[in-house]
Amino acid sequence: MKINLLDLNFQELQEFVAEAGLPKFRAKQINEWLVKGVADFDEMTNLPGALREKLKEVAVTGLPAVINCLRSKIDDTAKFLFRLHDGCIIESVLMKYKYGYSVCISSQAGCRMGCKFCASSDIPFSRSLTSGEILGQIIAINRHENIRIGHVVIMGIGEPLDNYDNIVKFLKTVISEESLGIGARKISLSTCGLVPGMLKLAEEDLAITLSVSLHNPFDEERSEIMPVNRKYSLDNLFEACKIYIEKTGRRITFEYAMIVGVSDTEKHALELCRRLKGLLCHVNLIPVNAVEGKSYSRSSKKSIENFSAILEKKGISVTVRRELGRDINAACGQLRKQLIEEGNS
């Protein structure tokens, strides 16, 4: 088994270099190439030829290979399809905002959570991604586009807290100066509500933003659309949120999909307000995206406005998510399905 260099943090890379009997500065040189997204050892021109040959024998860079890039014709969104070393296929989405580039990355090849409205739930789960494969998505896009991504959201395929150790290693690495040096405050991690992972994350001392996919304030109804709620009820979830906020001092963003009749009535808005009362939080309303074969339809503009007004009146900070990349199926929950078909063809 060859070692995947992107899976190593800088300290581990230094150890790898020391164990190979090489001078310390080689770690710095190799790291600079890795961060630039150079996958081929022969392009690492400041390394002696013999060292490049040796590296080829024992290691791979572990950078995901871009196999397709779909660009939206209506906005500056691009969807990247990657192949990993074992043939697994994953996706990331690059978005351009006024403040710069943001990328939505995947944490697993597939997802085990089974949310009813999400396209990832129908596709078999392959495996969790390593920290290097998570980081590699950002590095590969930076190189492909010749840009510097400044913001990261872990909202692509997979449940990040179902891949806890790799996601935390990724976070600590991507923040570090030796790697991409992306500020923790510019990173959001979204979870469907895996309570033990949330409590552990609260102890990591990372100033990232935690997003919680809530989607419904009633236990019975949430359990219908999100099986995770059968394991961790809303009481458990909100208790964990409270602890997270107390420990980190940071507000939580609640993602709330607006689905006609399922989550968008006044009754839902009022119960949501009751649940969120006194909590340091923000609500992001997402008009649900249609997924082939699923019967959920998005709420009208009017009912989203009404819902939002109820929250605002109770003093809850709320925004409505703008949809990007509509023509390339780049929106929440739409990744993966089409990709498998493409990947198999």
Alpha carbons 345 and 336: distance in angstroms, whole number: 14
Among 30, 89, 195, 286, binds ligand SAH (CB under 6 A): 286
Cβ neighbours for 30, distance < 8 A, ≥ 6 positions apart: 5, 13, 17, 44, 47, 55
CB of 121 vs ligand SAH, minimal distance in Å: 8
Q: Confirm if 6 and 62 have CB atoms less than 8 A apart.
A: yes
Looking at 328, 332, 337, 339, which residue binds ligand SAH (CB under 6 A)?
A: 332
Distance CA 138, CA 150 (A): 10
Alpha-carbon gap, residue 242 to 5, rounded angstroms:
38
Single residue of 237, 255, 285, 328 touching ligand SAH by CB under 6 A:
255
**312 among known catalytic residues:** no
Q: CA-CA distance, 285 to 300, in Å (whole number)? A: 12
Helix (H) or strand (E) holding 241: helix 234-248
125-135 burial by CB neighbour count: b if 16+ within 10 A, else e? bbebbbbbbbb
Q: Give φ, ψ of 224 to 5 degrees.
A: -60, -45
C-beta closer to ligand SAH: residue 44 or 333: 333
Contacts to ligand SAH from residues 102-121, by CB under 6 A: 113, 115, 117-118
Among 77, 163, 166, 213, binds ligand SAH (CB under 6 A): 213
| Closer residue to ligand SAH, CB minimum distance, 169 or 337 | 337
Binding of residue 155 to ligand SAH (CB under 6 A): yes
Site for ligand SAH (CB under 6 A): which residue of 47, 291, 311, 330? 291
Q: CB–CB of 78/93 below 8 Å? A: yes
In the bound state, the residue with its beta carbon closest to ligand SAH is 333
Tell me which of 77, 333, 337, 339 binds ligand SAH, using CB under 6 A: 333
* Active-site residue (options: 224, 255, 332, 342): 332
Q: Which residue's CB is nearer to ligand SAH, number 55 or number 225?
A: 225
Total residues contacting ligand SAH by CB under 6 A comes to 18
Residue nearer to ligand SAH on the CB measure, 147 or 245: 245
Please, are residues 259 and 297 in contact by the beta-carbon 8 Å criterion?
Answer: yes
Regarding 262 and contact with ligand SAH (CB under 6 A), the answer is no
Contact call for residue 289 and ligand SAH (CB under 6 A): yes
* Interacting span for ligand SAH (CB under 6 A) from 5-13, 84-92, 189-197, 198-206: 189-197
Element (H, E) at 227: none
Residue 294 beta carbon to ligand SAH: minimum distance, rounded to whole angstroms = 7
d(CA 335, CA 11): 34
Instruction: Give the CA radius of gyration of the chain.
Output: 21
Cβ atoms 81, 89 nearer than 8 A: yes
Question: Active-site residue 332, yes or no?
Answer: yes
According to the binding rule CB under 6 A, does residue 191 interact with ligand SAH? yes
Nearer to ligand SAH, 148 or 301 (CB): 301
CA dist 27 and 46 (Å) reads 12
Q: Which residues are catalytic?
A: 91, 332
Site for ligand SAH, rule CB under 6 A: 113, 115, 117-118, 155, 159, 190-192, 213, 255, 257, 286, 288-289, 291, 332-333
